[in-house]
Amino acid sequence: MIVEAPPAAAPAVSRLAVPGTDLEVTVSLENGDLTMALNKANTRVYRVVIEQATMPLENAWLADMFMRDERVRLAELSAEVDEYVGTLNIAQG
């Protein structure tokens, strides 16, 4: 007897292009994981994945005490990319 798994649900995806900028935010939910990505000039510069985002959260009223809050400095990312590119040896191919 062959038992087939039920078909996976298609991921839910939403995109927001920020007017007047080269920024786009994409949010997707797939298999219970929520992914949020920031693109600048059609290049992904930041992504966060919240695993098991759809599971019930016990004591949700306390969750804000443990909330993650990050600041991403795009200028620092740009400097890291420039530094990396400077170390590449184009002659090596």
Domain boundaries, the chain: 12-87
pLDDT in tens, 56-67: 988 888 888 888
d(CA 59, CA 1): 44
d(CA 82, CA 4): 49
Q: Higher-confidence residue: 66 or 7?
A: 66
Residues 6+ apart with CB under 8 A from 38: 23, 24, 25, 44, 45, 46, 47
- Whole-prediction pTM value? 0.74
pLDDT in tens, 66-80: 888 889 899 999 999
Number of residues that this document lists for the chain: 93
